[in-house]
């Protein structure tokens, strides 16, 4: 069993981004800029945004966070996004999800200029991803693809089971895998017999937020397991959606939680923002 070390790979990407930022500054006088919109007081969102800001600072980006109260109106958020759309120093705009109940998330994401949509959630970028055209790809699934690349895991012809069908992870993950010529099964909350699908897959990718959902008897010998879930359990520790101690015994490769897919998400955000800055330059 080999651990897929997302932390080490993310650090490698960070240092490559930092080098490219330096070149961009010297040759084109362009500094990549990222604007984050954070609504409300969700502690997880605040912690995550803080991590993003720290990463931006480390690689030499300009970054700004718009903290907004829970009570803000939809129109006010739209106004701020439109301001960012027309700001020439901002290359990436990111709306931290989830948004409060009174805000229409789809409407907000549609307002972002697709050229600054570094989260890859705009319908324009989603369409381009599905049709295998160059686009901004959601950071978590893109990070998983980078892991496959780094560990020389060939996806062509592999049976892959994606557990979870969210717009943020499951659906874009399935599109990327299809584009890499894998045979993809997508399962979700209404799937009748999850084990029937996961146990015959060469690769299982899971991201649903259910601690220990994938058990040892649900994966075949030698499977590759990518655990995107991150859950804080009662004793305060972080665990994934996979019963790691037992499942890992059967795997050829597996991602740990923490230290697996998590760090890759921020690395890909930096990578997407750099891509947008290069397009501006």
Which residues belong to the active site?
Answer: 52, 96, 119
**Cα 64 from Cα 219, distance rounded (Å):** 43
Element of type H or E holding 186: strand 183-187
DSSP string, 204-269: EEE-SS-TT-B-GGGS-TT-EEEE---EE-TTS-EE-SB-HHHHGGG-SEE--SSSSHHHHHHHHH
Cβ 24 vs Cβ 277: under 8 Å:
yes
Q: Map residue 7 onto helix, strand or coil.
A: helix
Q: What is the DSSP letter of 190?
A: T
**Cα 169 from Cα 187, distance rounded (Å):** 12
Please state, in angstroms and as integers, the Cα–Cα distance from residue 27 to each residue in 7, 15, 20, 186, 270, following that order.
30, 19, 10, 45, 20
**Cα 268 from Cα 150, distance rounded (Å):** 14
Burial degree of 125 (CB within 10 A; 0-12, 13-18, 19+): buried
Cβ 33 vs Cβ 5: under 8 Å:
no
């Amino acid at each position: 069993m080999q651990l897929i070390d997302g932390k080490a790979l993310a650090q490698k990407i960070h240092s490559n981004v930092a080098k490219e930022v330096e070149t961009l500054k010297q040759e084109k006088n362009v500094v990549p800029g990222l604007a984050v919109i954070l609504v409300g007081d969700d502690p997880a969102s605040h912690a995550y945004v803080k991590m993003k800001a720290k990463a931006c600072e480390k690689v030499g980006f300009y970054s700004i966070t718009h903290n907004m109260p829970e009570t803000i109106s939809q129109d006010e958020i739209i106004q701020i996004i439109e301001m960012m759309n027309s700001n020439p120093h901002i290359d990436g705009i990111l709306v931290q999800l989830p948004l409060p109940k009174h805000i229409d998330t789809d409407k907000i994401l549609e307002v972002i200029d697709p050229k600054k949509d570094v989260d890859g959630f705009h319908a324009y970028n989603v369409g381009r991803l599905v049709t295998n055209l160059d686009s901004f790809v959601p950071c978590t699934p893109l990070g998983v693809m980078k892991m496959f690349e780094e560990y020389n895991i060939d996806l062509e012809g592999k049976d892959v089971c994606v557990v979870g069908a969210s717009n943020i992870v499951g659906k874009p993950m399935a599109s990327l895998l299809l584009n890499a010529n894998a045979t993809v099964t997508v399962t979700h909350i209404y799937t009748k017999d999850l084990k029937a699908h996961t146990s015959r897959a060469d690769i299982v990718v899971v991201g649903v937020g259910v601690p220990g959902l994938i058990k040892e008897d649900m994966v075949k010998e030698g499977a590759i397991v990518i655990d995107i879930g991150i859950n804080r359990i009662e004793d305060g520790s972080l665990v994934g959606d996979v019963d790691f101690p037992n499942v890992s015994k059967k795997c050829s490769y597996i991602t740990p939680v923490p230290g697996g897919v998590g760090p890759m998400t921020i690395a890909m955000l930096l990578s997407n923002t750099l891509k947008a800055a290069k397009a501006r330059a």
